[in-house]
Structure 1
Amino acid sequence: MTLQAELRVHRDGFTLELDLVVEQGEVVALLGPNGAGKTTALRALAGLLPGSRVTADGSSWDGLPTEKRPVGVVFQDYLLFATMSVLDNVAFGLRARGARKAEADAAALRWLTRVGLAEFAKARPRTLSGGQAQRVALARALATSPELLLLDEPLAALDASTRLRLRSELGRHLRDYPGHTLLITHDPLDAMVLADRLVIVENGRVVQQGTPREVVRQPRTDYVAHLVGLNFYRGVADGTEVRLDGGGTLTVAEPARGPVHVVFAPSAVSLFTERPAGSPRNTWRAVVAGVEQHAHTTRVDLDGSPAVFADVTTATVAELRLRPGDPLWVSLKATEIHTYAR
């Protein structure tokens, strides 16, 4: 069964024009910067905003009030009912759809067992950890057997160690879920690990979509390149030479012609205090604009033609004594550069 959505929302000077297709059993991640329209899309799909046309296997959801839509939602802050027990929270959707209390409670307990929280059935939400609250919210969303599961930044409120464990657990539940899943997130790791397909939106429009592998290999905008951690440029290729739109020229290994995108990893960039010996294919002068620690590496922001990000080790930082304003030589092998048509 295929779920198709045509979202056309105009509000407060912002316009969302988004067409989505989600196959049964598929997890689609909707990514984008703040203000791109992700939350607007979620609210439209849930029936909280006018302007959406949604069909599932030819059956239209148009005109259905929110409570009648076959949709389950896990909100970023989970929004558990503080005055209800955990069991009553999970049973709430079933009761709202007319199930008798005994039937709803039995189903809720089965779901709590599946997420490993049956022992907390009588507890209040305020006694739960962030990870436990997330699992209760997921159980509540899935208890009604929705056709569409909406996940709004489901791991954002968790600390790093809990997030790692819950990401794996959430992935297992999503693999078992037979419906359609739309994951709203700004976190590229959540998207890459959990989703089968990525849809990237900027300013209310789709700018790129594809499998995680496709998006990582060929980003189409600056935002997407930043998301996947690549240096990204636009230029015009003439054989193995690419003239970059922002200034500078790069030599590449694979010949090309016409407008291209150019990408390479920050880890492919080498830094020197003096011009490197030999004949590197790409060498240019730059000035350190900033230095920032990134996990086990250091990200160096360099102004030059072109400007570039370099990822180096802490030992390299100490050896070069990198400080903002320092002049350096940048070196990059042609074989490390990837180009593709614009």
Structure 2
Amino acid sequence: MTLYAELRVARAAFSLDLALSVKPGEVVALLGPNGAGKTTALRALAGLLPIDDGRIRLGDDTWDEPPRVFRPADRRPIGVVFQDYLLFNHLTAIENVAFGLRARGVDKHIARADALRWLETVGLADHARSRPRALSGGQAQRVALVRALATHPEVLLLDEPLAALDASTTLHVRAELGQHLNRYEGRTLLVTHDPLDAMVLADRLIIVEHGKVVQEGTPTEIARRPRTDYVAQLVGLNLYRGSASGTTVTLPGGGLVTIANPTSGGVHIAFSPSAISLYAERPTGSPRNTWPVEVAGIEQHAHTVRVRLTPTADSAAPPNLLADVTTAAVADLHLLPARHLWATLKATEIQTYPT
């Protein structure tokens, strides 16, 4: 059975209008900036927020369809892992995991035995009698996960499950979470603003901005062909929209980009900041895309330096162009704000696809 949802929720300053589906065994990530509507969507699926219009159903079983049907959270076959885990501080780890089973009428001894087996699967059997305050962030996340899975939910909802972890813990816990999700046969919806979590853990991404879906696809499809500035920033690409005629793409404002393969009509063009080469003087035998530019900003970016460039007055360069260079290149080129340089880009480095 597939989880289908058409979610429409209206608030004074915000409206959510999105559709999604999650198949058995599939992990779908709902990715977007703060305020995009991700948490609103999760709360609606969890039964914590009635929708104003639309429908939520699992197969033929309807959970929410205004105004006739609304099934509250405790009557939906779901498991939820919240950003702050929301473990019961007065209960031990084993009691936290057993809580959902006990709430469903399972005998106390059976529930505790089952909870211990779940803790064993995440390597926490030795911490069964520890209370949440005695657990590390990674351990608390694992307890919250198996508490959600112990009731064998049809749908698992993960709300920023790694956001509360420190950087040194996140890498290990992300890999561990991925292993558990690979074994889970139900439907998983991961809500996150972290593109790495989405790319690593999800089979499919749904990008949400301002309450609406702006792009959907596999992580590879999203990374190669972003369709909004937000997505391009997430995957680290320069992205522009323009009108193609042959091998020339004209950008709004007059920028010109030469592409490798002729086409026509509205197109997106995308390329990596590392594809941009910078020179103090106009290079000889340069690629067809050679533009005079001015340095607008410089910042450290991972193991490279990211340079933001703007066209000079006589240039057909794209606006807000990003280039990644080495620290040595910063010194060699004497990079400073307002410094005039030449930027080149090979046409073969550019991805071109219809708008």
TM-score class, shorter: over 0.9
Q: Deviations over 1:188-233 (max 9, x none)?
A: 1111111000000111111110111111121111111111110000
Q: In 2, are the aligned partners of 1:233 and 1:245 still within 8 Å (CA)?
A: no
Structure 2 counterpart of 1:275: 282
Structure 1 counterpart of 2:38: 38
Structure 1 counterpart of 2:67: none
Q: In 1, are the aligned partners of 2:286 and 2:344 still within 8 Å (CA)?
A: no
Q: What is the 5 A alignment of 1:71-82?
A: 71-82=78-89
CA pair 139-276 structure 1, distance change in 2 beyond 3 A: same
1:105 aligns with 2:112: yes
Over aligned residues, Cα RMSD in angstroms? 1.1
Matches of 1:279 and 1:165, distance apart in 2: 45
Query: What secondary structure is seen at the aligned counterpart in 1 of 2:8?
Result: strand
Query: What secondary structure is seen at the aligned counterpart in 2 of 1:61?
Result: strand
Structure 2 counterpart of 1:330: 343
CA drift of 1:247 comes to 3.1
Structure 1 counterpart of 2:227: 220
Structure 1 counterpart of 2:29: 29
- Report how many aligned residue pairs link the two structures: 342
One-letter amino acid matched to 2:250: R
Q: How high is the TM-score relative to the length of structure 2?
A: 0.94
1:153 to 132, 156, 160: 160
Q: In 2, are the aligned partners of 1:30 and 1:38 still within 8 Å (CA)?
A: yes
1:19 aligns with 2:19: yes
2:57 to 46, 55, 58: 55
CA drift of 1:262 comes to 0.7
Q: Which runs of 5+ in 1 are unaligned?
A: none
1:317 aligns with 2:327: no
Query: What secondary structure is seen at the aligned counterpart in 2 of 1:138?
Result: helix
1:133 aligns with 2:146: no
Q: Deviations over 1:116-156 (max 9, x none)?
A: 10110111101111111110110111111111111111111
CA drift of 1:24 comes to 0.3
Matches of 1:207 and 1:141, distance apart in 2: 30
4+ residue stretches of structure 1 with deviation over 3 A? none
1:292 to 284, 299, 303: 299
Q: Deviations over 1:29-72 (max 9, x none)?
A: 00011111001001000111111622112111232111111111
Percent identity reads 68
2:259 to 249, 252, 255: 252
1:163 aligns with 2:170: yes
Structure 2 counterpart of 1:201: 208
Q: In 1, are the aligned partners of 2:246 and 2:262 still within 8 Å (CA)?
A: yes
Q: Which runs of 5+ in 2 are unaligned?
A: 65-69, 312-316
One-letter amino acid matched to 2:345: L
Structure 1 counterpart of 2:354: 341
